[in-house]
Structure 1
């Protein structure tokens, strides 16, 4: 058996740029879901489904029933991969995935002050990423990277000294940070599309299709004046790519069903922004506004807009706990596929920048509607 015999088959199409784009979606029950329902660990579920004699017969039968009820099917690729890693690898740094978190130093000094794992909350589901990596016998460690050649060189030396072979790039607030990084010795995957530099294999969210579904849903409900409010926070995401995507989507809405987009700073307390928001709202009277929920509410409060006159709010980057509808970017699935892509690269030793990078797009979902 060769390493390529273990590669999962990804359906793909190739664009004129030579980059394959894969659309991925998954609703299959996970081993963790079976474990949670059975009240046991993931390892116990794994052993039970492999008829391990360490698991009591009655417990094994219970787990098998739950797995069948949830529609869980063992991942054959994962099973074969684990059997190989058990035989050929010890627990060394070769099993470590370096999560390169490109951070803005000024945010650490004047912003939320978060570092390492704590700073990842707004970017990805950290616990989910760690747990899925563990099922692949991988351990994820965070390596902050600042936008300086000295920082990039230091991280490179650390990874090489520790024998780490896999890197997962999270652009964060510094999309240019990795421009000088040498990927030649590493299997590398980028999470999202904000990394400026080498064209790596990457996993992101197909937000444009999600926005089209969202718009169609609200147009069908009678919303005829759809507005877009972009703040500085949205504008700087992925090197202005997020705001560009929002504007491109907004222009696809029929002219009679949209109102002009609004650009504002992040601070709802700025008198100039409050005045600008008030003028925009009074002149356009939108039925629905896509934008940051908290800031939009703060601006409407500052503008003293009566509750009955307020439009529906929709979040362009919805997260659990929000009280409005929006677009769920499904970062959990993106993390899962990114780890799977790294695993494939490790098995087949696909180091360096690929000649034809793969872009896997996870379908965004409408949430709270």
Structure 2
């Protein structure tokens, strides 16, 4: 404001009143000062503006430091049953609290709710940040009025429009899992994924397995070209996983969750023992299972860093250059790999 005042030949207080459209400043002066400000690239900080308004007693408690957490599952709190999503929410809420913000959940499935109506609600409350949670229907388009918000998402289920996003480094995570099992001496390795989950991670786990099939790996001290067997299943074909495993004479199965392990055990296969197991979505609640911790809390915290930066820079709408931040996973050894 001091720079604008110097350029316009007025006081800083006059600039302040002109930019807030104070009628005490003549309209011609207001227009001239606003034009100078626009030429100089001035953008108000919404957080400071809200704070100043509250201190002057000119506004009620503002929602400008509220970040909307938008979900679109069939049930309001269905996402809480997914450990990855629940930890994403917790990680985002903690990071925002540390930075002076708060996270508030909004559900598009509320009776009578539409994307357009919710956009108006958020905008009227002065909410600037929109955290688009992973969605139930992969690649579904949600027609929010994006131009009003600084928006981010987590993972790859929500792709239209293409927002800034934070995600686990799925490709590296799969590579690390393969390095661990190959180094332990496993030679017959299988990747068994729920097909819809593979789409949710943009097929990056599958891509890493395909690349691994073209590389030579050190197995028991020797460089060898290995083949990773692959099986994508759905609810109707999950029961065939044990037969696929036995047909390929697998020593270890890598999967995205524990459903496959339980299916093998239900078929009379000892896991570990007959077949060992590793997961690409390790959880502290199951330390006995070897696998890659995707660090969902850190993934969401990283997304919040991106959002707060965009808010403070005054960046709204669908980004012209969408950015993706990838968070490296961490390998956790467990008793499910007997050779390790």
> Is this a same-fold pair by TM over 0.5?
yes
Measure, in 2, the Cα distance between the counterparts of 1:340 and 1:122.
19
CA contact (8 A) 1:102 1:175 kept: no
| More displaced 10-residue stretch of structure 1: 167-176 or 194-203 | 167-176
CA contact (8 A) 1:102 1:177 kept: no
Distance apart, 1:148 and its partner CA: 12
Structure 1 unmatched runs, 5+:
3-80, 109-113
Measure, in 1, the Cα distance between the counterparts of 2:79 and 2:243.
42
Match of 2:242 in 1: 278
Say how many residue pairs are matched.
Answer: 273
Q: Do residues 196 (structure 1) and 163 (structure 2) align?
A: no
CA contact (8 A) 2:63 2:125 kept: yes
| 1:331-342 pair list within 5 angstroms | 331-342=296-307
Measure, in 2, the Cα distance between the counterparts of 1:298 and 1:324.
12
Distance apart, 1:230 and its partner CA: 1.7
Judged with a 3 Å threshold, the aligned counterparts in structure 2 of structure 1 residues 158 and 176 are, in CA distance, closer, same or farther, namely farther
Give the secondary structure class of the aligned counterpart of 1:320: coil
Match of 2:323 in 1: 358
Distance apart, 1:330 and its partner CA: 1.3
Match among 123, 143, 148 for residue 160 of structure 1: 123
CA contact (8 A) 1:132 1:336 kept: yes
| 1:87-166 pair list within 5 angstroms | 88=52, 90=54, 91-103=61-73, 105=74, 108=75, 115=77, 118=80, 121-125=83-87, 126-146=89-109, 151-166=114-129
CA contact (8 A) 1:146 1:177 kept: no
Distance apart, 1:133 and its partner CA: 0.6
Higher-helix-fraction structure:
1
Structure 2 unmatched runs, 5+:
3-44, 55-60, 215-224, 335-340
Q: Do residues 300 (structure 1) and 277 (structure 2) align?
A: no
Match of 2:37 in 1: none
CA contact (8 A) 2:269 2:275 kept: no
Give the secondary structure class of the aligned counterpart of 2:64: helix
**Bigger radius of gyration, 1 or 2?**
2
| 1:44-63 pair list within 5 angstroms | none
Match of 2:15 in 1: none
Q: TM-score, normalised by structure 1?
A: 0.65
Deviation string, structure 1 residues 101-145 (Cα, Å, up to 9, x no partner): 131x2xx3xxxxx62784564414233322221121111001122
Q: TM-score, normalised by structure 2?
A: 0.70
Match among 198, 201, 210 for residue 242 of structure 1: 201
Give the secondary structure class of the aligned counterpart of 1:247: helix
CA contact (8 A) 2:151 2:307 kept: yes
RMSD: 3.1
Distance apart, 1:259 and its partner CA: 4.3
Match of 1:314 in 2: 278
CA contact (8 A) 1:170 1:190 kept: yes
Distance apart, 1:252 and its partner CA: 2.0
